[in-house]
Structure 1
């Protein structure tokens, strides 16, 4: 396997569930193929929007295997592997490499806090050194408002220095533009993905790699159009359009909202269920969000 130097739109694909809340593997393959056919450059599966931390390690491995067996190119997959136990992360990472995935996305260990930058470095170094593969492309995942443990800039600098051919980039889901801008200016050549398409023009001008966005589930074609227009006179108008979809969608819980709008837009009820502790949108919320999105010009391409 050759690791992928990802760029463009990576969608953190939703994970569909059956009525008994097991993973609906058929629906999962269908939605992932649809995303790739409608603008996604890759899929950041088994991350936050995928409800990965509500899945067992077995379920995560099985879902990833199913995508590859169904013909989805493994090099387009960046599965989430972050757990609180480095041995679990090592197992998930090794499995992803065996399947030929283009890279992995790893949260820091998120249970104990506060922890030092030295402690986080030791955890990531343990994973990388144990895997000991030139094929490993590891991407950091900064989402401190949920994980409670962030990725400080001194940790990034140290990992890049010690593992320059392995630690390739970061997804910044903090929503903090100052943090994103500082990383873009400090770490030239490091592949930095914001988690919102609302900053693509600004971040792209500073060398941003694209975006890894939950709303890519419901607007892959719109984000694709913006990425393709960067550097042209039409980019600002497309930025405003995808920004309007994003800001409307972001008023609601992101995971249930993505699933409900996908289910409605594609006419596929298999996509709507969430696993506890998450709860679905109420019918009233779903109707309101659908109307608000339509009002800002949102629609989905047909299957």
Structure 2
């Protein structure tokens, strides 16, 4: 495995939309800078970015503008996976040429019950089309959304065939037994495991994982990054429990609209609440209840302006 400049915690950065429904690049740039200042890396075009509601052309434009705006590509892991090999290769090539430290790649998610042979062929074709030794792929395992799970056998084939390219995984299966099995089989070979839920962060670090890429890093970056850096400290379990409390109070609300509502509240910018169809923003009642729940745990974001 190649070395990496990626931090242990990345945020699947939520995408701000302007009144015309386009990504507000200036606002996104500011958010990325705030996340970086809180020791968190940048995973644009992930699930929480509403990536599958954003065209490849728009993604390419936004990526270019973020790089021009001095978002450090060495801390970036853009989502590049799509259902077609060509679209995935196009987006992936752009990320590699921009100097991004890695890419987060979904499997082709439209067809269900596909075989390991089919999945291997997909990733293999993308790698061959990109044809760049700098490419670092982090496989995105999120079966609750894709209905596709990446077997240990598939991972073995990919790592064996492309040991310098298949760098790791974001696992959002929610199945700790699977996460643990991947870590036991591949962590010693340099395979970097990012868990997709900060609830598993301490457990993952203790089992040899690399970190997490979690929606909550959009609103609680500093504490999550601190735990990832101090997981061996004597108070690590309490740090994890404190972080868990925030997710527990937000679980009743839909994830993406809620992340945006929290940022809108603490930045005093209601435009942050916009989402793209088919998602819908929180209702007035939901926003009020969310604010009550956050108040109960005295949560705030003091430096978000």
TM range (shorter): over 0.9
Tell whether the 8 Å contact from 1:39 to 1:223 is kept in structure 2 after alignment: no
Tell whether the 8 Å contact from 1:8 to 1:227 is kept in structure 2 after alignment: yes
Q: 1:11-160 residue pairs with structure 2 within 5 A?
A: 11-40=11-40, 42-160=41-159
Number of the residue aligned with 1:196 = 197
Once residues 270 and 142 of structure 2 are traced to their aligned partners in structure 1, the CA distance between those partners, rounded to angstroms, is 30
**TM-score of the superposed pair, with normalisation by structure 2:** 0.95
Tell whether the 8 Å contact from 1:3 to 1:102 is kept in structure 2 after alignment: no
Query: What is the RMSD computed on CA atoms of the aligned residues?
Result: 1.4
- Partner deviation per Cα, 1:38-59 (whole Å, 9 max, x = no partner): 231x111101100010011111
Once residues 174 and 77 of structure 2 are traced to their aligned partners in structure 1, the CA distance between those partners, rounded to angstroms, is 21
Number of the residue aligned with 2:288 = 287
Q: 1:1-20 residue pairs with structure 2 within 5 A?
A: 4=4, 6-20=6-20
Once residues 295 and 228 of structure 1 are traced to their aligned partners in structure 2, the CA distance between those partners, rounded to angstroms, is 28
Runs of 4+ in 1 over 6 A off after TM superposition: none
Gaps of 5+ in 2: none
Q: Any idea what SS the aligned residue of 2:177 has?
A: helix
**TM-score of the superposed pair, with normalisation by structure 1:** 0.96
- Quote the offset at 1:64 in angstroms: 0.9
Deviates more, 1:272-281 or 1:125-134: 125-134
Once residues 22 and 173 of structure 1 are traced to their aligned partners in structure 2, the CA distance between those partners, rounded to angstroms, is 28
Aligned residues: 301
- Partner deviation per Cα, 1:243-280 (whole Å, 9 max, x = no partner): 11122223211100000001111222232100000000
Once residues 186 and 100 of structure 1 are traced to their aligned partners in structure 2, the CA distance between those partners, rounded to angstroms, is 30
CA pair 156-90 structure 1, distance change in 2 beyond 3 A: same
Once residues 96 and 256 of structure 2 are traced to their aligned partners in structure 1, the CA distance between those partners, rounded to angstroms, is 27
Tell whether the 8 Å contact from 2:10 to 2:214 is kept in structure 1 after alignment: yes
Tell whether the 8 Å contact from 1:90 to 1:127 is kept in structure 2 after alignment: yes
Number of the residue aligned with 1:183 = 182
Once residues 26 and 241 of structure 1 are traced to their aligned partners in structure 2, the CA distance between those partners, rounded to angstroms, is 32
Q: Any idea what SS the aligned residue of 1:171 has?
A: strand
- Quote the offset at 1:187 in angstroms: 1.2
Q: Any idea what SS the aligned residue of 1:18 has?
A: coil
Q: 1:213-232 residue pairs with structure 2 within 5 A?
A: 213-232=214-233
Once residues 279 and 303 of structure 2 are traced to their aligned partners in structure 1, the CA distance between those partners, rounded to angstroms, is 28
Q: 1:200-279 residue pairs with structure 2 within 5 A?
A: 200-279=201-280
Tell whether the 8 Å contact from 2:29 to 2:66 is kept in structure 1 after alignment: yes
Tell whether the 8 Å contact from 1:215 to 1:249 is kept in structure 2 after alignment: no
Q: Any idea what SS the aligned residue of 2:45 has?
A: coil
Deviates more, 1:77-86 or 1:240-249: 240-249
- Partner deviation per Cα, 1:126-167 (whole Å, 9 max, x = no partner): 011121211100110001111122211111111111111100
Tell whether the 8 Å contact from 1:4 to 1:76 is kept in structure 2 after alignment: no
